[in-house]
Every structure is written in C-alpha cells, then in structure tokens.
Structure 1
Amino acid sequence: MFEDLIGPFLHYGFMQRALLGSLVLSVSCAPVGVFLMLRRMSLTGDAMAHAILPGAAVSFVLFGFQIIPMTIGGLIVGLLVALGSGLVSRFTVQKEDASMAAFYLISLAVGVLLVSWKGSSVDLMHVLFGSVLALNDAALTLIAAVAVITFLALAIFWRALVAECLDPLFLRSVSRIGTPVHLIFLTLVVLNLVGGFQALGTLLSVGLMMLPAAASRFWTNEVRAMCAIAIIIAAFSVLGGLLLSYHASLPSGPAIILTAGVIYALSALAGRRGMLSSALMSRRHKTA
C-alpha cells in the first residue's frame, strides 16, 4: 500500500516534477477560483481559458513548443480578449457574458485552426490538454512565479477583492479602487490560466481553478476558509489524479480534473452545506 501511494513519486523524476508543479499551481489557482465563484464569474474563467489558445498557437507556429513565447502569446491574447469583451459590454447593449462567449468562441476556433495548420493532431492535443508529466525547469519556474505574483496581489488587495465580491457598486461609489482592482483580478485569472496551460492545456486549466473552489462552498461560508479548503481539495485532486494516471495508465490532466470532480460530487452530497445536510435540516424543521 505504501509503495503504491509513495513509490511513483520516489522512483520517477517526471512524477516528482508533475507533483511539484501541480501542487504549486493548486495553491495559486484555487483562491482565484474562489473569487471567480463568489463574483458569479465561473464561466468567465472557462471562457478565458479558451481565449489564451490563439496566442499560444501563434507562438507555437513561430517558435514551436517554447515555453516563454507561448506564455507571452497566451498572456497577451488573454488580456486582449478580457479587455475587448469588457469594452463591448460597456459601450453597447450586449451583456458581458454574451460578449465574452463571442470572443472566446472566435479565439478557440482561430487557435485550433492555427495549431492544426502548422502541426499535427498530437500537437493539437498537447496544446488543448497539456502534459503535466512533461514539466521542465522552465515550466516549474513559470508556475512558481505566477504563484508568487498571485499571493502578493491577494495579500495587498484582499479587502478590496472581498468587498467587490459582496457589493461592487458600493465599492466603486466610495472608492476609486474598484475598477483597478477588477482589472488586476482579471489579470490574475489570465496569469493563472497561462500557468495552468503548461500542465493541463487550455481546455482543462480552468478545472483546477473552479472545481475545488466550487466544492469548498459546500463546507463553509467564510472567504478565507473557502480559499484554504479549495487549496486542500486541489492538492488532493492532484495527488489522487497523478496516482490514478500512473496505476491505470490514464492521461494525467483529465485524471486530475476527474478526481476534483469526484471530490466536488462528494462535497455536494455530504458537505456541511450539501444536499444531505439540507435535507436533515428541512426534516428537523418539519418535525419541530
């Protein structure tokens, strides 16, 4: 039993790199996912994950699988999509969710066409779903840098981020920091998606951000506690997913997200604020 759980990480360097990179990514992505969820922007994270694909694809066409160009390309296009959809929703009758959907669908189509034109189906799968077992020193350095930037930003703007989640109109009425904080938060989302892209690809990187955050909501109602629980759930998802991938010969990225999905389902069922607890509370009220 001990060998099955610990052995893969003791004997194989690629498993150690995958575990280290994914754990650091969990610590960085999970709190950002909590704020996305509280701001009712969960699907925005999914849209932004697709939006970085064209930038990564252009860099792939020009430079191949080079981490720095693909990271810069994904970051630039992700920020442009966020800004473009925001401008459309601000100066037209269209709502932000609709404009974001339009931008990300166009971006996804362009990115897939670019990768398919230059590379093969294997290259396309690598870009879309990542390769957590192939993380190198450059990828680990990028993920660590994203985590440091994220924690510094959260530490500095924590109160403003919480206030904007609860009542953004009030924050903007009493302070000029509302709009800058919103832009900083969107930048953090894009940064973490770009970091997650190195391990999980553009389609799955948002999974490690949103599933642990959504699961944490069933256990507590306090923001700091939600962030901590989301990090723990993400870490267990990484560990369980990598072990499942190793022993069952499954793709590592989908295995990690599937594990997070199982934890989400269990939390929804048996969490302190899940379905069973709600049913018991309802039954007690009826019998009281």
Structure 2
Amino acid sequence: MDIYQHLFAPFADYGFMRRALVACLALALGSGPIGTFLVLRRMSLMGDAMSHAILPGAAIGFLVAGLSLWAMSVGGLVVGLAVALLAGLISRATALREDASLAGFYLISLAAGVLIVSTRGSNVDLLHVLFGSILSVDDEALLLVAGIATLTLVTLALIYRPLVAECFDPGFLRAVAGRGSLYHVVFLVLVVVNLVAGFQALGTLMAVGLMMLPAAAARFWAVEVWSLAAVSIVMAFISGWAGLLISYDFDLPSGPAIILTAGAFYTVSILIGRHGSLRARYFPGAHFHNHREQLP
C-alpha cells in the first residue's frame, strides 16, 4: 500500500499531476520515434540546434500575445521550419556543411530569443520560455501536444519504409526515384513540430532532452528500427513519470528532474545495455550474449 501511494497517489490526488503525466505520455509517443530516426541518421545534434532555433519565434509570439499557447507555438514553428530550410539551402549553395550551418543558426537564434524576451519581459517570463513548466500544462496545451503526437505517428506510419531506406542507403532511394528529398523535408517538419510540442511543457532548452536521451539509450537494448522506437517511447514515458515523482517528493523543478531521469537511463544503458555497452564489450558472458551491432 505504501508503494502504491508513493507511485500513484500524487497522480490520483492532483489534476495538475495527471495532466503533466498525460503530457509526458504524448511527448514520449511523438518524440521517441523521431529521436530514434535522428540517431539512425546521425543527426542527433540537429535536434539540439533546432530546439534553439524555435526560440526567436516563440519570443516573437510572446511579444505579440504574451504567454499565449498558439502565438508562441506558431512563431516557434515558422522560425524553426525557416531555419531548417535555410540551413539546407546554404549547405547546397556553399561549401559549408549542413551541421555547421545549423550550428551558426543555433547560436544566433539562442542569443536573439533570449534578447527579445529579456528586453520586453521579466526574468520569470524568460525562465518559462527557456525551461517551461510541465506542471502548469492546461487542457489546451495538452490537446496541442496530443494532436502533434497523433500527427507524428500517422505520418511516420505513412513514410516508414522510405524513411528507413534513406537511413541505411540514401543513394538507393535516389536511384529508384524514391523522392528522398521530399521525405527528408517531411521528417524535418516532424522534428520541428515535436520540438514545439516539447517546448510547451519543458521549454526550449529541455525539449530536446526527452527526444534524444531515450533514443540514444535505446541503442544499447534493441537493434531493429521498430524495437528501437518502442524502447525509446517506454524510456521517455518512465522518465517523465519518475521525474514528476522526484520533483513532487523533493520539491524540485519538474523539467530538469525529467531530463536527469532520462540521463540516468542513458548512463545505465551505457554501462550494462545488451548491445555495445561497456559490459557487453568487456564482459560479454556476464548476463547476455554479445550481439554484433546491426545498425549504423
């Protein structure tokens, strides 16, 4: 009974905790598969760059309408998509690689967003934009996050095969007229909209954490694309659940508690995961058989 009360009572007793838990579930369902494909495509750092790229758009929405859900979301979405497309165009029109182009935009966007919010808002507003507050998620924000998660899962189901093919052999997809560029653009849109969803709950600096840490940790436990996505979703949701409990019990900020819990999963996976972990490489007979890595 004591264990039940510790694990479930806060969510049964308080509506804000239930909304936060449902938000974590929706974020896990949307961000988990997206993070998996980012890892497989060796675009992990792009998620971080894009999470900062939405900051100026969110800041402009804040200037126009205050802490308005839709204004900040639309602003972040427009600027995030613009940065993604501009980075791609610059990398094709110049000698600069796409990752370097994104790094430049990331630094400019972060500085511009902080400057905009700081000049027109208070320190509390700046902290809200940067770090979010998942415990203050209302029904409107919850519907937005759930809608984005649904859109993500449906879209990924429709483009799953060509997206997987592009991960492993993009040259083949181009050779058979598979419109790889189109799928790449659609995927970038999904990355941005999921970061916008995460921004509503965790802020721009923390949103990418729930997307990338479980996906990176899943690489140590699964080898197939679908199983990677499934493990990533489960880890992201458990991180949200445990992080909320930790923040509730010890009166800590909820967003950092959730991301640090995901970081703990990542650290444990590095140490004792089934595939490619320290234990699997150096002590292969300890608990599991050492499988050869099957993914890039």
What interval of TM-score do these two structures reach, taking the shorter chain for normalisation? over 0.9
1:142 and 1:125 map into 2 onto residues whose CA distance is 21
Q: Is the 8 A contact 2:162 2:178 kept in 1?
A: no
**Which residue identity is paired with 2:237?**
A
1:222 and 1:7 map into 2 onto residues whose CA distance is 36
Whether 1:45 and 2:47 are equivalent positions in the alignment is yes
2:221 paired residue number = 219
| More divergent stretch after superposition (275-284 vs 239-248) | 275-284
The 1:123–1:166 alpha-carbon spacing in structure 2 relative to 1, beyond 3 Å, is same
1:220 and 1:134 map into 2 onto residues whose CA distance is 35
Alignment identity in percent?
56
Structure 2, unaligned runs of 5 or more? 291-296
**Which residue identity is paired with 2:25?**
L
**CA-based RMSD:** 1.4
1:254 and 1:88 map into 2 onto residues whose CA distance is 34
Q: Partner of 1:40: helix, strand, or coil?
A: coil
1:7 paired residue number = 9
1:279 paired residue number = 282
Q: Partner of 2:205: helix, strand, or coil?
A: helix
**Which residue identity is paired with 1:267?**
S
1:276 and 1:112 map into 2 onto residues whose CA distance is 42
**Which residue identity is paired with 1:248?**
F
Please list the CA deviations of residues 14-65 of structure 1 after superposition, one character each: whole Å capped at 9, or x if unmatched.
Answer: 0000001111111110000000000000000000000000000001011000
Would you tell me which structure has more helix in proportion to its own residues? Answer: 1
1:260 and 1:176 map into 2 onto residues whose CA distance is 36
1:166 and 1:275 map into 2 onto residues whose CA distance is 25
Please list the CA deviations of residues 126-171 of structure 1 after superposition, one character each: whole Å capped at 9, or x if unmatched.
Answer: 0000000000111011101101110111110000110111111221
**Which residue identity is paired with 1:45?**
G
Structure 1, unaligned runs of 5 or more? none
**Residue of structure 2 aligned with 1:141, choices 127, 140, 143:** 143
2:49 and 2:191 map into 1 onto residues whose CA distance is 11
2:42 and 2:285 map into 1 onto residues whose CA distance is 27
> What does residue range 1-288 of structure 1 map to in structure 2 within 5 Å?
1-273=3-275, 274-281=277-284
2:171 and 2:62 map into 1 onto residues whose CA distance is 41
Q: Partner of 1:93: helix, strand, or coil?
A: coil
Q: TM-score, normalised by structure 2?
A: 0.94
Please list the CA deviations of residues 200-225 of structure 1 after superposition, one character each: whole Å capped at 9, or x if unmatched.
Answer: 00000000000000000001111000
Q: Which runs of 4+ in 1 moved over 4 A?
A: 282-285
1:17 and 1:68 map into 2 onto residues whose CA distance is 18
Q: Partner of 1:203: helix, strand, or coil?
A: coil
Q: Is the 8 A contact 2:134 2:255 kept in 1?
A: yes
2:224 and 2:4 map into 1 onto residues whose CA distance is 36
Please report how far the alpha carbon of residue 176 of structure 1 lies from its aligned counterpart in structure 2 after TM superposition: 3.9
Q: Is the 8 A contact 2:29 2:153 kept in 1?
A: no
Please report how far the alpha carbon of residue 281 of structure 1 lies from its aligned counterpart in structure 2 after TM superposition: 3.3
Q: TM-score, normalised by structure 1?
A: 0.97
Q: Partner of 1:62: helix, strand, or coil?
A: helix
**Which residue identity is paired with 1:10?**
A
